[in-house]
Every structure is written in structure tokens, then in C-alpha cells.
Structure 1
Amino acid sequence: MKKIVISSLLISSMALLTGCFDSGPKSYLKIAGGGLQFNYRVSEMSMVVIAQQVSPLPAGSIVEAQFDIPGTQTRESVTLPSMEGKLTYRLQSQKLFNIKKGGEYKVSLLLRDKSGAEIDREETAFHSDVDQSTLPDKPLVDDLAFTPNFQNIK
């Protein structure tokens, strides 16, 4: 009886230990920041996500962000090639329209290997606390010298 108990304990402890070494899917990137970006100076809004490397990225991999496009059922995909030694990646959507106060907009961060297969994914959602109607109709400046466009100041 004593041998059976000891054998059972040994088998169960070995099973636990082998589970500790099971790495499962590897995490390469995490979402380190981002959100809705309202640029009042040029009267544009977009979404930005910051990807931070947590494990070395495979050679030839692609960092991708998929952004919800407000008011549609589609998503925009933005990609950057991975670079050795680069620890963060900033991915930004195109200009967005139809942002609503209280709206939730999903973002997916993906890592694809050189063949295009997805090898890592993280998701989040950004919440808007302002409405598109708060943006001016035209940019607040007319040129790179930031000459004020006074007709547009409310």
C-alpha cells in the first residue's frame, strides 16, 4: 500500500512539473499604450496603438494593428516590418470619422511570421469621451508655420 501511495505521489508530481515546462503559445508583443488621438490643430482624429516587444521577434515577422472603422463593419489594417533591436512600434490608423462620445472601438495587435501566419495576438478597446462634433470643420492653422485660421475658432 505504501508503494502505491509513493508511486502515485511521484507520478502526480511529475505530471505537475511537466505542465510547468509547457510553454504554450509564446507572447512576443503587448499593448503598451495608445488610444484615440484628437488633433485639434489640423482637425483630424485617428487611433494609435503602441506595441512593446516582450520576447525577441522572429526574423522577417510583421507587426500588424487592426482598427475598427467607426460607423462600419470593417477594419483597417496597418503593418510595419519587425526590426532587430527595435523594442516599440507605433501604429496609427487613417483619419477617422463618426467618432461618438461613449463609443467603444476595438483594436487588435498581431504578429505575423514571414509567411503571413498569425503567431501572436492581443486585443483591447478604446473608449471615446468626446464626440466628433467637438472638432472644428477646418484646420485651426493654414500652413506649417501654424498661421492661425481665425475663421474656424469657435
Structure 2
Amino acid sequence: MKRALLVLLPLALLLAACQRETGPDPLKLTGKMFVFNYRLAYATYLVTLEKTQPLKEGSIVRAEFENPAGGAPLTLERKLFASLPRVVLESPDVTCVKKNHPYRVSIRVLGPDGEQLQSLETQVTSSLDQDILPAKPLVIGPAYEKNPAVFKDGKAPAHFETATCTG
């Protein structure tokens, strides 16, 4: 029995030394929030991830964001680049975001062969309702000119119309 222990103990120590310190997951969640762009009158999810280990060229990340307006989740796919240490995922525009309501986000990391390397589930909660946004963008075009649909004759309205839930 002692002899078996003497043989197995060094083997166990060797195997323990070979394990990765960061664990098996290649990405770590580092941030999540809703972004409200007041000037352009839209809201999006923003999720940031940091690489904890190298990924093979051709790996991708797929994200599904709960649609606050209801219906099918909003999807996003991004190629992962070996030279970039962080991954930023910004959803398509969303409507009907409610304050203090947790919305589900699912993230999958896939290798170049399509094999799932990691799966993450999280929730994003807004501290604001979407009705803080204007109903129409305040600016338009590449030079951010005043939107004539909002600024009649170049003058600001006495009261800005706010976004409503269309979902």
C-alpha cells in the first residue's frame, strides 16, 4: 500500500502542476450594461469579455440578448482575433427597456471547427427606463446636424417627445 502511494503521489503532483491557472474558460465576463445614446435616440446592450487564454484562429463568439420588447432574442456573432485581449459585444438596438428588470444574455464561444469551448449566462439590469430617450434622434448625418423633424425652424421644442414601447 505504501509503495502504491509513493508511486501515485508524484504522479498526482505532476498532473496538478499541469493544470491551467485560469481554468478551462477562454473568456471572462468583465462588464455588462445598457447604453442609452440620447443624441441618436437608441439603446443597446454592451457586454465586455477578457481573454484568459489564447484561442485558435477562426474562433467566434455568439451572443443572444433577451428582447425587451418581446419575441425572439436578438443575436450577434463576432470573430475573435488572437491579437485582441478583449471582446466587446454590442447588441442591435433595443426598445422597451424597463428599469430594474433583469434581461438574459447567453454567450457561446466556438472553436474554428464549431466545437463549443465555453458557455456563459448572465443578466443585465438597467437603472433607467427607455422612456428617458427622445422619440426621434436629435441629430442626423455624419456631421451631427440638428434633426429638422425635432428642431422646427432650427429651434428646440418646448418639450421633447420621449420614446415609447413599440413592442
Structure 1 counterpart of 2:16: 20
> Do the aligned partners of 2:69 and 2:94 also contact (CA within 8 Å) in 1?
no
The letter for the 1-side match of 2:51 is Q
Q: Which runs of 5+ in 2 are unaligned?
A: 162-167
Q: Output aligned runs, 1:89-100, within 5 Å.
A: 89-100=87-98
CA RMSD of aligned residues (A): 2.7
Q: Count how many residue pairs are aligned between Structure 1 and Structure 2.
A: 150
Q: Which runs of 5+ in 1 are unaligned?
A: none
Structure 2 counterpart of 1:62: 60
Q: CA distance change for structure 1 residues 15 and 74 in 2, over 3 Å: closer, same or farther?
A: farther
Q: Residue 34 of structure 1: which of 26, 32, 35 is its match?
A: 32
TM-score, with normalisation over the residues of structure 2?
A: 0.74
Which SS does the other structure have where 1:71 is aligned? coil
Q: Output aligned runs, 1:94-109, within 5 Å.
A: 94-109=92-107
Relative to structure 2, which stretch is displaced further, 97-106 or 135-144?
135-144
Identity of aligned residues (%): 27
Q: CA distance change for structure 1 residues 111 and 140 in 2, over 3 Å: closer, same or farther?
A: same
Q: Output aligned runs, 1:1-154, within 5 Å.
A: 6=2, 10=6, 13=9, 17=13, 20=16, 23=19, 26-72=24-70, 74-148=72-146, 149=151, 150-151=156-157, 153=160
Q: Which runs of 4+ in 1 moved over 2 A?
A: 6-25, 71-74, 142-154
